Structure 1
């Protein structure tokens, strides 16, 4: 077995900025055990002093710290070209929005009970940063400009109109997503004062028909959520909702199926059905996708119900063309 397999963070340098002694030592010990080269400091000023001497691939930082807090530190990191991940439990909606605007690539919520989620977040953040750098380099060469055809530009415009805000607060939930590519996208909506609907759609098999499918799926759910307000219960029944969508997709006679995961959040519970979104993470892998969306009009998809943890949930997905989505929803006080 390789060092990389045994130690998933092998060769990655990480600066931990955390004033809580016990948690700082936990992070130091765990990240070192996973193969990372780790330095730990207790506030923003010490972080700046350390970064003046050495570059780190990743900064893991708290927001609430003495001497110099996390927001102040981010404002001083204009020239830093690594990944910044915020880990904080004493933060407001304004704080989280601000740190994302200042360049943080992701965040985790204290108390951190799943350290595997920390590893996944670090690796995902580094991977997306590397791919973004490559895309910027490719854009400089004329031979790559052929990929930006007129229909691609039009598709990008339509999909941008469909996409919700990347960061928002809905019924006490803080929602944030990141995308790489154009074939995966989320739809998120506050249905009423008690329910949030969310959707992840994969159109990678549809080629230039993907935009048509995206418009159909978006329009279907927007109409369904509006009908719920006049006593149509389908929106709260993910399996029934996807079955109804199948009939519309089938009638559109598209060349290939789209895939879709639909969920409803009510208080501390999420009810969901998975229609073809393969390799979905927990808890959404519990309901097996079975046949893909649109493959057969009478397909039914099993529903799953899960209790939301105090820190909500994180959904990461990579499709067949290596596009990616990271979607997080967690409650805020």
Structure 2
């Protein structure tokens, strides 16, 4: 597994690198976002560990670029406020750790993200009692099959590929309907409403949440 570590603190880069190497991961290092983007043109990464506060390009901007290339992100920051965490998750981060951190916990989180992302890459996504197979376009809730229209299937698949991550309305419209779609976003609202209804009917233990003014995310029911 190749992991990109981006932090302007040389000590932090070295610390993370030592522990990643012990676990058998291969790491590349960058001291800022622009340097990280250069490495992206030279290597394929399975995960990025990104500091928030960096010169030239901060971690929020970099995370947006990384998620556009389907690279999961574990974000590191010295800031622990809810607003800061929200910014990180809205940028597309898959997880968030506050400095100082325990290297052992960082490795736990790295493994969890990679495990979750590998399942998605194989075409199978599992959340609670629901399984999505993107190769056969099949959704199963428990032992029950759920037949979805293609656009609803694509919406559900995208949202469940990154649980708890907020997808903007524009992102969903572009990924499902394409960049050249000339309709309005009422289409998205209608499809989300229908999808919620179908999930409720089969008692799927997942919920599509509206993030007001931004978009949607999916989470497991508690």
Residue 99 of structure 1 deviates from its aligned partner by 2.1
After TM superposition, the score normalised by the length of structure 1 is 0.41
| 1:285-308 alpha-carbon deviations (Å, 9 max, x no partner) | xxxxxxxxxxxxxxxxxxxxxxxx
**Counterpart selection for 2:104 from 109, 113, 116:** 116
1:211-222 mapped onto 2 (5 Å cutoff): none
Contact 2:50/2:63 (8 A) holds in 1: no
**Counterpart selection for 1:55 from 41, 44, 52:** 44
Residue 135 of structure 1 deviates from its aligned partner by 3.0
Contact 2:206/2:218 (8 A) holds in 1: no
The residue number in structure 1 matching 2:145 is 147
The residue number in structure 1 matching 2:9 is 20
**Counterpart selection for 1:101 from 81, 90, 95:** 90
Unaligned regions of 5+ residues in structure 2, if any?
126-131, 148-196, 212-216
The residue number in structure 1 matching 2:164 is none
1:89 has 2:84 as partner: no
Residue 125 of structure 1 deviates from its aligned partner by 0.7
| 1:39-81 alpha-carbon deviations (Å, 9 max, x no partner) | 1111101000111111111100100011111012123235322
1:37 has 2:84 as partner: no
Q: Which has the higher helix share?
A: 2
Name the Cα RMSD after superposition: 3.2
Contact 1:64/1:90 (8 A) holds in 2: no
Distance (whole Å) between structure 1 residues aligned to residue 218 and residue 38 of structure 2:
31
CA 1:40 to 1:158, structure 2 compared with 1: closer, same or farther past 3 Å?
closer
Residue 92 of structure 1 deviates from its aligned partner by 4.2
Unaligned regions of 5+ residues in structure 1, if any?
1-11, 167-176, 187-333
Residue 102 of structure 1 deviates from its aligned partner by 2.1
Residue 121 of structure 1 deviates from its aligned partner by 0.6
Which structure has the greater CA radius of gyration? 1
Distance (whole Å) between structure 1 residues aligned to residue 98 and residue 15 of structure 2:
15
1:112-261 mapped onto 2 (5 Å cutoff): 112=101, 114-133=102-121, 134-135=123-124, 138-141=133-136, 147-148=145-146, 153-156=200-203, 160=207, 185-186=221-222
Residue 158 of structure 1 deviates from its aligned partner by 7.8
Residue 25 of structure 1 deviates from its aligned partner by 1.0
Contact 1:16/1:59 (8 A) holds in 2: yes
Contact 1:85/1:104 (8 A) holds in 2: yes
Q: Please state whether the residue corresponding to 1:76 is helix, strand or coil.
A: helix
| 1:242-296 alpha-carbon deviations (Å, 9 max, x no partner) | xxxxxxxxxxxxxxxxxxxxxxxxxxxxxxxxxxxxxxxxxxxxxxxxxxxxxxx
Residue 117 of structure 1 deviates from its aligned partner by 1.2
Contact 1:85/1:105 (8 A) holds in 2: yes
Distance (whole Å) between structure 2 residues aligned to residue 118 and residue 37 of structure 1:
15
Distance (whole Å) between structure 2 residues aligned to residue 17 and residue 107 of structure 1:
14
